[in-house]
């Protein structure tokens, strides 16, 4: 199947190095300490943060840092196939772990000892890149909850199809079986906190594909900063500052 036309356009009309449209909103769950929704094209996710609060299971309490917990789930209506997925299926458990480890890399957990932070992420609509969208939503929600972070973590994926590096894969491109790389970075510190890849790539092509994903992460970081700035201005306006 041809994923890039002779004119250099992809199936959804984007150029190889073009991202899908980003949309985000902060404070979408009233009861949560922090929440956000994040859309990358047709992929829509929502994240809610509860904490820092008292550790429920005292056996897990750490005296020098906060306990970070994460739960990832997909709504039954999020994909085309209506399969009822058990709550603890392996994919969800793995993605929960990936999101938790990525977020732990940016949260200043040592400032909140003997407490726990719960991150809940749910996919409302899946069209490729759910992992990245969840990390971006969780970052926004953590910022909304006022939890101290080293830097924003942003994530984006890229792949290699028809001998062309492609940025921000949608579901059709993602399920084509080509190599795809998911990257998470701390943009200001210029550090990589997440790198996942399935299938093999020659090192020179891998560097191009990864660099493309990092550019995507930086674009997401700029967008998230704009959203947070806009949110702060709205709060100031409401308080009459």
Residues 61-102: tens digit of each pLDDT: 888 999 999 999 998 888 776 555 656 688 889 999 999 999
Residue owning tokens 């990257």 = 183
Rg of the chain taking only CA atoms, in angstroms: 18
Structure tokens at 165: 């590096």
More confidently predicted of 185 and 177: 185
Q: How far apart are CA 134 and CA 118, in angstroms?
A: 14
- Between 200 and 38, name the one with better pLDDT: 38
Cα 219 to Cα 26, 30, 75, 112, 188: the distances in Å are: 18, 28, 28, 30, 12
In this prediction, residue 198 carries a pLDDT of 83
- pTM: predicted TM-score of the whole model, two decimal places: 0.93
Q: Give helix 130-144 / helix 90-104 axis angle, nearest 10°.
A: 40
pLDDT tens for 110-159 read 999 999 999 999 999 999 889 999 999 999 999 999 999 999 999 999 99
Q: Is the pLDDT of residue 46 over 70?
A: yes
CA distance 26 to 71: 19
- pLDDT on residue 81: 66
Which pLDDT does position 83 carry in this prediction?
59
pLDDT at 194: 93
Report the sign of the C-alpha dihedral through residues 233, 214, 90, 77, in that order.
positive
């Amino acid at each position: 199947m041809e994923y890039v036309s002779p004119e250099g356009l992809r199936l959804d009309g984007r150029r190889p190095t073009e991202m899908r449209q980003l949309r985000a909103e902060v404070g979408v769950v009233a009861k949560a300490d922090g929440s956000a929704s994040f859309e990358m094209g047709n992929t829509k996710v929502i994240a809610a943060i509860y904490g820092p609060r008292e550790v429920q299971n005292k056996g897990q309490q750490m005296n020098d840092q906060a306990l970070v917990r994460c739960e990832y789930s997909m709504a039954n209506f999020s994909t085309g196939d209506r399969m009822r997925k058990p709550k603890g299926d392996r994919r969800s458990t793995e993605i929960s772990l990936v999101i938790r480890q990525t977020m732990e890399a940016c949260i200043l957990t040592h400032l909140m000892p003997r407490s726990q932070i719960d991150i809940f992420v749910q996919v409302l609509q899946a069209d490729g890149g759910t992992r990245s969208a969840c990390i971006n939503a969780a970052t926004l929600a953590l910022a909304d909850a006022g939890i101290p972070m080293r830097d924003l973590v942003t994530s984006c994926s890229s792949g290699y199809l028809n001998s062309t590096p492609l940025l921000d894969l949608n579901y059709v491109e993602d399920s084509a079986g080509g190599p795809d790389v998911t990257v998470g970075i701390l943009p200001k510190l210029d550090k990589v906190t997440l790198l996942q890849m399935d299938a093999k790539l020659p090192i020179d092509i891998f560097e191009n594909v990864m660099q493309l994903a990092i550019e995507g992460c930086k674009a997401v970081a700029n967008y998230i900063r704009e959203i947070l700035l806009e949110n702060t201005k709205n709060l100031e306006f409401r308080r009459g500052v």
